[in-house]
Structure 1
Amino acid sequence: MSHPAQIKIPAVYMRGGTSKGVFFRVQDLPAAAQQPGAARDALLLRVIGSPDPYGKQIDGMGGATSSTSKTVLLAKSSKPDHDVDYLFGQVAIDKAFVDWSGNCGNLSAAVGSCAISMGLVDNVLQNGIAIVRIWQANIAKTIIAHVPMTNGEVQETGDFELDGVTFPAAEVQLEFMDPAAEEEGAGGAMFPTGNLVDDLEVPGIGTLKATMINAGIPTIFVNAEEIGYTGTELQDAINSDTAALAKFETIRAYGAVRMGLIKHIDEAAKRQHTPKVAFVAKPLDYVSSSGKQVHANEIDLCVRALSMGKLHHAMMGTAAVAIGTAAAIPGTLVSLAAGGGERSAVRFGHPSGTLRVGAEAQLVEGEWVVKKASMSRSARVLMEGFVRVPGDCF
């Protein structure tokens, strides 16, 4: 019996923010996978090691968490005034499913430097800060990355510290332009229900106050105390509780229907990456997952968010954009937890520590508009070369 040989595909394995994933140039993929569709999905699933009924992704590049089961496709941009097109695929761990419905804000921090290294960006500075204009193809938005350069090479080492990442690295500033999603929900409104706060009826759980926002990524915010939490929980408190995870998934499904993202709650299972669900609370002292003490007077509020059905170990970059945007708009649950009023930046506590995100909101003809959200992350190449997969996997 003959067996297919493995093929090798040029790839870069990178950390971006508190996530990591496998990066490809679209032109380096096998011809059948250079276009969206079943072949591309099958290839990426095999690269990452999914679906894996053991939940470990041992036979692939994935790390068996939502933060490490990620793929990125890059190409020279087809859009005017942009350098690179960036497409993100969130790979399910135990299902044969790649979710293309949203962006990864953390890996966005690696896109600019990876694109430069792959030769996709023209006229790069030898020294200084290179400005890379990224077209985020999943959500049709512009991200501007400020990438440090030294002697014509991306500078990756530095002293910038990011909670959730063990070692310091070079700072990469990101600007998410017009972060309110256009294609999501009710005509692309930032608040698809038309309200800053809604009463969200969730059968079996009750009626919860909820802020549902399209900014960075569609996100459903609820109050921690309404669902029995303090907002200082770490991963084990949630992820070891199957009843809690089921509760959050039910909230997510009914919120997705109210946001117009799906028509029926049954569709939520095939849209795992979006929307996110998060819970907020006023500032409290707690000890982070690394043992670091977080003091209430150092933060404006506490936030915990779930990704792909589990509590995130830190904070998704796109959810951080949603937090910053909602905090800038008086009356949202996020703003109220942070003390109310107008603000242009917020520092929140998450399981791994703290994060600051900026956003400036304006009320224009009765509608809230946010032109830009910004934050600092870091990125680093972990390995580059080739990934190998069986030649018949796609």
Structure 2
Amino acid sequence: MGSPDPYGRQLNGIGSGISSTSKIIVLSPPSRPCVDVDYTFVQVGIKDGSLDMAGNCGNMSSAVGPMSLDEGLVTDPRVEEVDGQQFAVVRIFNTNTSKVISARFRVSGSPPKYSPDGDYIMDGVPGTNSPITLSFLDPAGAKTGKALPTGNACDWLLLPDASTIQASLVDVSNPGVFVRAADLGIPSPEDLTPQAVEADTALKEKLDGIRRAGASMMGLNPDVESIPKIVLLFSDSRSPDVDIRCLALSMGQAHKAVPLTLALCLGAASQLPGTIPAQLVGNRSKSSIIIGHPSGKVDIGTTFEDGKIKSADLHRTARVLMKGDVYY
């Protein structure tokens, strides 16, 4: 990956100096019944070369099903036929969170292989591909055991400067610390871009203090950068096609879109009464919400059963970019 790199560029490897692309997937045969493949996600520290396996990455999860099928790790997937097209369903065990993800994607040929061509557009990614439907099963309490680790929809966090801020601490797919941007003096999304956050050292320090305080209250290690992540939220009552807007930080960097597991967490949080996301979304009663982020928007579905979160669902894309050897 080119880490450790004190200059933060990863020039001596295949990383690109940003947290979104300093990531590794490790696949292995299934370790338990009723799943097809095991998957471990590794977040590689850019400057220090640390290998962080505390949480999962949703965007990387989208590649696991197609890759495991095409590379022969999954040899007999369940295949469905809909309107003359074939779709494989691969059940993935994520070792980071001990949760199961169901991936459904288009295939062709015999034996079936992933068919990436399609017309689905994913905001933030140029071009089109066939959609990959990910269902994160029983996603609540991925790291803490509960959707609301403290038992509260909102908590007050004590910060290093002795000030306080209200936050919702939610653990669905991955833990997140959700705060109103307005509580930090940021009235609208137009006043906050990833570039503006990166240029504001004082704001980044404040946000990291909030993240660390939230981690401690959730019973997590505040020194682990990958979880929880902090998300700034904006109400978006002006836009009929967006329910809520967000800006997230990942590994200390402002994300140019939104980490997928955080989008899943936000989607579920918006339907948990009393949370800050639910307050901002308001009375838009529906099973899915559309989240606006710096590169566009994403539609997140959440299914409840007997008052518990059964699954969190969305569409992604993936394709093979290259195959080869990387030397170190």
Alignment partner for residue 331 of structure 1, among 265, 274, 281?
A: 274
- Displacement after TM superposition at 1:386 (Å): 1.6
Instruction: Tell me how far apart the structure 1 counterparts of residues 226 and 185 of structure 2 sit (CA, whole Å).
Output: 24
Equivalent residue of 2:92, what SS?
A: strand
Gaps of 5+ in 1: 1-47, 263-267, 286-295, 390-394
The yes-or-no answer on 1:119 pairing with 2:72 is: yes
Equivalent residue of 1:322, what SS?
A: helix
Change (3 A) 1:363 1:204: farther
Change (3 A) 1:205 1:155: farther
The yes-or-no answer on 1:180 pairing with 2:119 is: no
Give the match for residue 2 of structure 2: 49
Change (3 A) 1:384 1:327: same
Equivalent residue of 2:320, what SS?
A: strand
Change (3 A) 1:156 1:205: farther
- Displacement after TM superposition at 1:123 (Å): 1.7
Alignment partner for residue 182 of structure 2, among 216, 219, 225?
A: 225
Check conservation: 1:198, 1:210, Cα contact below 8 A: yes
Gaps of 5+ in 2: none
- Displacement after TM superposition at 1:206 (Å): 2.2
Check conservation: 1:327, 1:335, Cα contact below 8 A: yes
- Displacement after TM superposition at 1:341 (Å): 6.2
The yes-or-no answer on 1:66 pairing with 2:19 is: yes
Give the match for residue 10 of structure 1: none
Structure 2 counterparts to residues 33-182 of structure 1, below 5 A: 48-124=1-77, 125=79, 128-151=86-109, 152-182=112-142
Change (3 A) 1:205 1:308: farther
- Displacement after TM superposition at 1:319 (Å): 0.4
Change (3 A) 1:224 1:325: same
Higher relative contact order (CA 8 A, sep 6+): 1
Alignment partner for residue 212 of structure 1, among 151, 169, 181?
A: 169
Instruction: Tell me how far apart the structure 2 counterparts of residues 113 and 63 of structure 1 sit (CA, whole Å).
Output: 24
Q: TM-score, normalised by structure 1?
A: 0.78
- Displacement after TM superposition at 1:231 (Å): 3.5
Cα-Cα RMSD: 1.6
Instruction: Tell me how far apart the structure 2 counterparts of residues 95 and 246 of structure 1 sit (CA, whole Å).
Output: 19
Instruction: Tell me how far apart the structure 2 counterparts of residues 376 and 346 of structure 1 sit (CA, whole Å).
Output: 13
Q: TM-score, normalised by structure 2?
A: 0.93
CA deviations on 1:317-371 (whole Å, 9 max, x unpaired) are 100110111012122111111114653110011000111000033564xxxx201
Letter in 1 for 2:280: A
CA deviations on 1:48-105 (whole Å, 9 max, x unpaired) are 1101011100111111111100001001111101011000000010013111000000
Letter in 1 for 2:70: S
Equivalent residue of 1:318, what SS?
A: helix
Change (3 A) 1:259 1:363: farther
Instruction: Tell me how far apart the structure 2 counterparts of residues 205 and 349 of structure 1 sit (CA, whole Å).
Output: 32
- Displacement after TM superposition at 1:203 (Å): 2.8
Check conservation: 1:331, 1:340, Cα contact below 8 A: no
Check conservation: 2:263, 2:291, Cα contact below 8 A: no
Instruction: Tell me how far apart the structure 2 counterparts of residues 89 and 376 of structure 1 sit (CA, whole Å).
Output: 22
Instruction: Tell me how far apart the structure 1 counterparts of residues 237 and 325 of structure 2 sit (CA, whole Å).
Output: 46
Equivalent residue of 1:382, what SS?
A: coil
Check conservation: 1:330, 1:342, Cα contact below 8 A: no
